[in-house]
Amino acid sequence: MSRQPFGARARTNGLKNTTMGAMNSASGNVAPMSPGLVPELLITDLATSLNFWVTLCGFEILYDRPKEGFAYLHSGTAHIMLEQIGIGRNWVSATLERPLGRGVNFQVTVAAIMPLVERLSYSGWPLFMAPEDKWYQTGGTEAGVSQFLVQDPDGYLVRFASRLATPVR
């Protein structure tokens, strides 16, 4: 399987009967899997956010509506919508103050975190939390992840994580 370069639009294989199929753009872009939850982040500048999410973090644009300041992105099974404040139909329940998204972090599972860490570092983008390996109790077992946190241009906290092998105990 070949990988697309970062910043490329997702290609379709004609999955017209998927849940996402009804939301396809004219280009036929579809997501590999339709998630049950897709956060929509209000952002201050679509171009700046796309540079972060697509160019630096490797998400792909499934479809967008530039005149509305909107883009629907995915990375594997992680999906996110971006909507620029003041252009489209913004649903705002309170005053928006930076950093946006206080009290929440979005975990995105990736195959390996170090390529992202290196790309962010090379671009001069600061990390919120340095990479670490962490084991979490999950009932009678433990789950291990390599993870780091970074803030997007509007302050949303994103935790990129990759799975670690089962520990020998």
- Tell me the domains of the chain and their CATH numbers: 19-163 (3.10.180.10)
pLDDT, tens digit, 9 for 90 and up, residues 145-164? 999 999 999 999 999 999 99
Q: How many CA atoms lie within 13 A of 103 on its CB side?
A: 1
Of 4-8, 21-25, 51-55, 88-92, give the range with the top mean pLDDT. 51-55
The proportion of the chain whose per-residue pLDDT surpasses 70, expressed as a percent, equals 78
At residue 2, the pLDDT reads 38
Residue identified by tokens 């339709």 is 34
What mean pLDDT is reported for the chain? 82
What whole-number distance in Å separates Cα of residue 129 and Cα of residue 141? 25
The whole-number average pLDDT for the span 68-80 is 94
Residue 3 binned pLDDT confidence (cut-offs 50, 70, 90): very low
When mean pLDDT is compared across 18-32, 46-60, 110-124, the lowest value belongs to 18-32
Three-state secondary structure call for residue 22: helix
This prediction's pTM? 0.77
> Which residue pairs from 158-162 have beta carbons closer than 8 angstroms and sit at least 24 positions apart in sequence?
158/57, 158/105, 158/106, 158/108, 159/105, 159/106, 159/107, 159/108, 160/57, 160/107, 160/108, 160/110, 160/113, 160/116, 161/107, 161/108, 161/109, 161/110, 161/113, 162/109, 162/110, 162/111, 162/112, 162/113
Q: Which two tokens stand for residue 10?
A: 């997702």
Tens digit of pLDDT for each residue in 94-147?
A: 777 888 888 889 999 999 999 999 999 999 999 999 999 999 988 888 889 999
Tell me, what's the pLDDT at 26? Answer: 42
Residue type, 55: T
